[in-house]
Homo-oligomer: A and B are copies of this chain.
Amino acid sequence: MFGAHPDDIEFGCGGVIAREAVGGRPIHFVVCSRGEAASNGTPAGREREAKRAAKLLGATIEFVTLGGDAHFERRPAFAMKLAAIIRRRRPGVVLAPSVVENQHPDHVVLGHLVRDAARLARFGGLKELRRVRPHAIAQLFFYAVAPEAEPTNLGRVLVDISDVDVMDRWTAAMNLHASQMRTRNYVELQTTRARLNGLRAGVEYAQPLFPSDALVVDSLATLQRGARRF
């Protein structure tokens, strides 16, 4: 789970995280800035908010720097930094912000860096990564922090997050970012999106993810539902 700013994961796919946490899967957040460019909140305060939100969602968390908030750059050194984390944590599924261009530039850059890092983590000859053995992730999903960031050229997977416990955890986690709540617009944006996706999927609430690579399955038995309500 990679997020550019202390609240991106919670806002962009926090419902999915809550759902997987409730299901007992281990989750780790990598937050790549402390929100130091934002109009509201202090870096220290935002780190505290992020840690509390991660804890609530049942996730461990670490912070890493990729040039600083609003200064992310698509440089190999940063991709290596993320690849080192991937090797260390050895995840199966990785989530990152989408690479749709017209959104916060840090999100785009981070999406690219994670996708590249997931490749670099496999290559045996990289000097910077020599200390940890290579690792191939199973799948990379993109999430969209805003509707504008939803890719239209990838498949769409809607995760059902209707469970009351899941929704409660998610909204509580968003609200823990108190410094960003001058207006409630962000929370409303995300719950409105989730309700709209839920209506499309025939459930209460759903959040979309976008697989970077073709899904591989043993059988269609696991793909028996589709968003075909309207």
Q: What separation, in Å, do the CA atoms of A230 and B7 have in the docked complex?
A: 14
Interface string of A117-136 (1 = CB under 8 A from B): 01110111110000000101
Interfacial residues of chain A within 159-175, with CB under 8 A of chain B in the complex = 159-160
Binary flags per residue of A195-230, CB closer than 8 Å to B gives 1, else 0: 110011111001011011111111111111111111
Contact of A220 among B20, B120, B126, B214 (CB under 8 A): B20
Number of chain A residues close to chain B: CB under 8 A? 95
Is there an interface contact between A226 and B230, defined as CB atoms closer than 8 Å? no
Which residue of chain B is the closest to A112 with respect to CB atoms?
A: B101
> Which residues A102-156 have CB closer than 8 A to chain B?
102-105, 112, 115-116, 118-120, 122-126, 134, 136-141, 145-148, 152-156
**Residues of B close to A219: CB separation below 8 A:** 19-20, 23, 159
Task: Report 6 cross-chain contacts, Cβ distance below 8 Å, ordered by A residue.
Answer: A38-B124, A70-B120, A102-B213, A146-B200, A189-B196, A216-B226
Among residues of B, the one whose C-beta sits closest to the C-beta of A123 is B37
User: What is the minimal beta-carbon distance from A18 to any residue of chain B, in angstroms?
Assistant: 11
Measured between beta carbons, the chain B residues less than 8 angstroms from A157 are 155, 214-217, 223
- A76-B71, A216-B203, A216-B227 known; A119+B105 contact, CB < 8 A: yes
Decide: A228 and B155 in contact? CB cutoff 8 A.
no
- A84 sits at the interface (CB 8 A): no
A93 surroundings in chain B (CB, below 8 A) = 220, 223-224
Roughly how many angstroms separate A27 CA and B117 CA in the complex, as a whole number?
34
A120 cross-chain contacts in B, Cβ below 8 A: 37, 70, 105
CB neighbours (8 Å) of A23 from chain B are 219, 221
Complex: chain B residue closest to A230, CB-CB: B146
Beta-carbon contact of B206 and A226 below 8 Å: no
Contacts of A36 in B (CB 8 A): 125
Contact check, A159 vs B220: say whether CB atoms are below 8 A apart. Answer: yes
Residues of B within 8 A of A192 (CB): 192, 195-196, 199
Question: Is A79's beta carbon under 8 Å from chain B?
Answer: yes
Give 17 new A-B contacts, CB below 8 A, not counting A39-B123, A72-B76. A36-B125, A69-B125, A93-B223, A105-B116, A139-B223, A139-B228, A147-B230, A148-B213, A148-B227, A157-B216, A185-B199, A185-B229, A201-B216, A206-B216, A214-B226, A215-B223, A215-B225
